[in-house]
A and B are shown apart, each in its own frame.
Chain A
C-alpha cells in the first residue's frame, strides 16, 4: 500500500540560504508533486522605485540582489541610457564587463560551495568559499566594497581601475585559476558526487524551452541561450563563447557553471588587455521619457527590467523579472519522480535567489 504524505520543505531548511517553501506530495519516499509558496521576503522594491528619483533608483536596483548586485545596476543603467539616448564611453563599457564577470565568478563559486554543502561535502564547500575570497578582494580593491560595488552609474562608471590594480587583478586571477583547477576534479570525478548528481532533476531541451528556463539551467539542457552573445556593453569585442551541456541534470548544471568560470576569467583578461583609454562617463542632462525593456545576462540567467518614464525625475513603472523566477517552473518539472533526499540538491542546482525573485 502506498502512503501519501504532504511535507513542507522550507521556508527554513538547512540547505536554503533564503526562504522558499515547497509543499511536497510524497508517495512513500517518492515526490509526486511540488507546489511552491513564495512571499517570505517581499520588500516592495518596485513601489519604492516609483518614489525615488531615477538616479537614486540605481542604488536601489543594486540592492535587489546581494550576489549579482553590479549586474542589476548595469541592467537598470543600460535601460535608462537607451531611453535617454546616452552613448556610454568605451572605457566604461569595458570596466562594466570586468566587474560583471568578476561578479559571475564570485556567484558561481558561492553556488559551488552551497551545492557541496547540500550533498554533504564540507571540504569542497570550504575550498570553494576560500577561493571566493580572492574574487571579493579584487572587488574590494577595485570598487571599494566586497559585493555592493556602487560603481555603475547612468552614463558610465564612477571609478577607474588604475594600471597597477589591473596588473594585481590579473595576478589574483592566475592564482585563483591555479587553486580552482586543483579542486575541480573533486567536483567532476568524485564517485559519490556523481552518484548524487547524474540523472537527478532532469529537464529535457524541449521542456526547458517551453517552461522558459534561463541561464545555466537552460544551457545545461542544451538550449543555446545567453544574452551575452548579443554583445551588450563590450561583449561584442571580446569573442564570447557560450558553454552548453546536453544532459539536463544537476551534474550538467554544475558543469556549465564550472566551465563558465573559465570563460569569465578569460573575458576579464581579454577586457583588461583591450581596455581603451578615455573618459569614464558622460554627463546626464534632463529626465528620461519613454519605455524600454532592458535585458542582461546574470550568473543565474537573463534578467529583464521594464522601465517606463514620463519625463519627470520619478519613473512610472519599474518592473523586474529575475532569472530565478523564470527557473521556478523548470524546478517544479524536475521534482516529481525524484527521491525526497534528492530534493535539496535539485533545489540548490538551479541556484535559487529568492530575494531577487520577490524583490
Chain B
C-alpha cells in the first residue's frame, strides 16, 4: 500500500513517457542510416554499387547514363555508400518524405 501511494504521487509529478507526435518531433540522430540518396553530378556510373549491393536493389547503366534504386528492395545497409569511389552515394538520417 505504501509503495502504491508513493507511485501514485510520483506519477502525478512525472513527465509523460511519450511525445505529442506529430506536434513534437524528435530530432534525428547524427550519422543515422535512414534512406539512401545519390548526387548525379558526381556519379561516374562505374557500377560498383550495383555489383556490391547485397539486395540487388541498384541498377546502373553507362549508356544512357542512369542510376536507379528500388526502395522496396533496398535493405539500407550502407554498403554502396561505403564502396562508392566518388562518394556520391550517401545515407541520410531522415526518411524520405512522401508527397
Contact = CB atoms under 8 A, between A and B. Distances in A.
Interface of A: 52, 55-57, 59-60, 63, 130, 137, 140-141, 144-145, 148, 150, 158-159
A43 B76 CA distance: 19
Contacts of A137: 29
Contact of A60 (B52, B54, B78, B91): B54
Nearest to B32: A144
Interface string B51-92: 010100000000000000000000111110010000000010
Interface in B16-61: 17, 29-33, 52, 54
Interface residues of B, number: 16
A210 to B, nearest CB: 40
A145 B82 contact: no
Contacts of A159: 31
A56 B77 CA distance: 10
B79 A140 contact: no
Interface of B: 17, 29-33, 52, 54, 75-79, 82, 91, 93
Contacts of B52: 55-56
Contact of A59 (B30, B33, B54): B54
A57 B33 CA distance: 19
B77 to A, nearest CB: 5
Nearest to A52: B54
Given A140-B29, A140-B32, A145-B76, A56 B91 contact: no
B75 A63 contact: yes
A150 B77 contact: yes
A59 B79 contact: yes
Contact of A158 (B17, B29, B82, B93): B82
Contacts of A56: 52, 54, 79
A150 B33 contact: yes
A311 B29 CA distance: 41
